[in-house]
Amino acid sequence: MAWSVALACASSGEPGAVFRPGLAPDPGAAGALARRLTPGRTVTEIGDTVLDFALWPYADELFVGAFGGALLVCDRRLAGLDDDARRVADTTAAALPGARCGVLVLHGVQPGCWFRWYEAGEPRREVLVTAADGVVIDQGDRLPAEAPFWKTIDEGGGDVPLPFAAEDFGLALAEAHMFGRGIAERGDDGFLALELPLRRFTMS
């Protein structure tokens, strides 16, 4: 399947230890973050859903999950890859003190991946790759999960066409650095990231 994703995910510890059964949502904290992400607009809470149905929101929607040591934000503005996208990413990364945060955008129709990585609120890594344009942004130290994907380019191969699937690249980063497990894989403990509860908001 082709993934379309506009997701920021922060955790205050190793993600594999944080994202486990028993995570308790905090609706009040979710609402507070939703309002912080949307200055100057009216934010209305309209219900609950799970991550599986929130990964690619409509333009006027915002989904937020707040837990004891983790935050999830699904916001279509991230897909703009512009200053507003970076503001949403920066705000989410800073919302959980001392946390690590990954921001992942995948385009299913026009294959590409934007990934931004933060430590304690500070951006450490930004990469943008597309099937059509190859490597567009490659800033900061590469993360361990990236290594297999860069091998052909590092050995002198070209980046157009991109020698790896942008979707596979993004999902590998999400598994290693955002959730500590495959986003669509149910673990032996019964946990499935796509079943995490989020609050749904509209922006007007």
Range of the domain at 87: 5-203
| φ, ψ of residue 48 in degrees (nearest 5) | -120, 155
pLDDT of residue 128: 95
The string of pLDDT tens digits covering residues 86-123 is: 999 999 999 988 899 999 999 877 789 999 999 998 99
The answer to whether 91 touches 37, Cβ cutoff 8 Å, is yes
Number of domains the chain contains: 1
pLDDT of residue 1: 56
Number of alpha helices (DSSP H) and beta strands (DSSP E) in the chain: 5, 9
pLDDT of residue 204: 86
The string of pLDDT tens digits covering residues 165-194 is: 999 999 999 999 999 999 998 988 888 999
* DSSP conformational letter for 25: P
pLDDT of residue 158: 87
Alpha carbon 105 to its chain centroid, in Å, reads 7
The answer to whether 198 touches 30, Cβ cutoff 8 Å, is yes
The string of pLDDT tens digits covering residues 19-78 is: 888 888 999 999 999 999 998 888 898 999 999 999 999 989 999 999 988 999 999 999
**pTM (predicted TM-score):** 0.92
In this prediction, what percent of the chain has a pLDDT beyond 90? 71
Question: Above 90 in pLDDT, residue 81?
Answer: no
- Compute the mean pLDDT over every residue in the chain, rounded to the nearest whole number: 91
DSSP 135-183: EEEEEEPPPGGGHHHHHHHHTT---SS-SS-HHHHHHHHIIIIIISS-T
pLDDT of residue 15: 87
